[in-house]
Copies of this chain bind each other. A is one copy, B any other.
Amino acid sequence: MERTETLAELGALLGARLVTSGSDLDLHGRNETHFPFMPPDAVAYPETTDEVAAIARICHAHDCPMIAWGTGTSLEGHSIAPRGGVTVDFSRMNRVVEVNAEDMDVTVQPGVTREQLNTELRATGLFFPVDPGANASLGGMASTRASGTTAVRYGTMRDNVLGLTVVLADGQIIHTGTRARKTSAGYDLTALFVGAEGTLGLITELTLRLHGQPEAVSASICAFDDFQAAVDTVIATIQMGIPMARIEFVDEATARAFNTYSNADMPEKPHLLVEFHGSDSAVAEQAERFGEIVADMGGSDFKWATRQEDRNALWKMRHNAYYAALSLRPGATAVVTDICVPISRLAQAVAETRADIAASGIPGPILGHVGDGNFHAVLLIEPGNDAEKEKAIALSHRMAERALKMGGTITGEHGIGMGKLSLMEREHGPAWQVMGNLKRALDPKGLMNPGKMVPPA
């Protein structure tokens, strides 16, 4: 078996930083949701771009798969190893390389997590806004084109990555983008690697756009009698041009989960969680106008989180929503859905999904980034119950079909991984084959995160 030789060469390169022990393989074969255990043959812990390039040269010479690993918090089984190979774990490449405060950019290694970055930035007056629920690595966030609660104001990873260093399948190192705010110099390779889920190359450095910490922040939570009123509130707010930094929806079941998991005290009703950023007077004005819209739409139980610690608690509760949802069915695992539709279709998409979930008998709290038209149902299933799992996946696929019919997408922010591969052709038609052609152009041997993203060769 040639892999022995590959591992021997990698071991000579990395010493104790190449691990083939059971517990490490176990960890890197697991995932946050319902996908089966698929371990790699080894886990490599590089410390530099040059080491990653050397790993790739060895793997390339031996036709050995390479799978990138950040924090393992992706929800579609992106980083498990269906064909074995070497998982490249970036946890030792976790350094903030350079902060350019005047230019509001930062260069980081891929293993830096979003919370670590914001902690290191605190004194600069700047912050990095993209915030998926988990404390994910920035390399992983770029690779899944992640977003979170602030995309409505600050955009997603697509909008906040200025440039990358990437190691290609054959070990070649390239740089994409610059520190300039915009460029028209050639194909947008940065955008090609962002969202590629490690199937085109290994990201070893990222230059990110930063934003000024707002002078004033105001957050609030309010309840509605039905979902339509909540969505109408969001649409009216957008159309009046009130700039929201965050606008999140949670349904009755999620409110119940927050009450138990995060000791919240919310009526079991649909809620909006909202935040405004700006100058003192701008935030006060935005909050006031938003309050008027909520009143018009029949919203109630309005609570403003004026103190920093109250806001932190509010958003921590929101970021833990996945784990809170899991607690609604102790011991459950989840099929997490992630469709995104034009906002005019959002109320209908949620209503049809709720009816579908109710008919299925599977618990499925719903929550989402309503300002983007993106929402999730967390379908709670019993581990090992294949019938239930299939039912949940079928439900998830019906949601995807619904999104496509409405002009939307099968995934707003979680990505494809193992879970959405069968839906790619439905969304992209012949453009999926074009993706396959691009993949072959950059990785002709098919070694980068194989079995994901593109049509089977």
Contact = CB atoms under 8 A, between A and B. Distances in A.
Interface of A: 100, 102-105, 125, 144-147, 151, 155-156, 158-159, 168, 172-176, 178-189, 191-192, 194-196, 200, 212, 214-215, 235, 238-239, 241, 278-279, 281-282, 285, 338, 340-344, 372-374, 403-404, 407-416, 420, 424, 427-432, 434-435, 437-442, 453
Contacts of A413: 182, 184
A149 to B, nearest CB: 13
Contacts of A373: 180-181
Nearest to A187: B435
A311 B318 CA distance: 44
A316 to B, nearest CB: 23
Given A103-B344, A343-B103, A184 B442 contact: no
Most chain-B Cβ atoms within 10 A of its Cβ — which of A144, A147, A239?
A: A239
A388 B375 CA distance: 60
Given A158-B182, A438-B442, 10 more contacts: A102-B343, A155-B159, A158-B188, A176-B428, A180-B374, A180-B412, A184-B409, A187-B453, A188-B191, A215-B241
When all copies of this chain in the complex are counted, the total is 2
Contacts of A374: 180-182
B156 A279 contact: no
A192 B434 CA distance: 11
B241 A431 contact: no
Contacts of A146: 184
A414 B184 contact: yes
Given A144-B184, A159-B159, A342 B174 contact: no
A454 to B, nearest CB: 8
Nearest to A104: B238
A440 B156 CA distance: 30
Q: Nearest 5 A-B pairs (CB), nearest first?
A: A191-B191, A441-B441, A179-B407, A183-B409, A102-B344
21 contacts: A151-B181, A168-B434, A176-B431, A178-B340, A180-B374, A183-B412, A185-B411, A185-B416, A185-B427, A186-B416, A186-B428, A187-B438, A187-B439, A188-B188, A188-B191, A188-B194, A189-B435, A191-B192, A434-B442, A438-B438, A441-B441
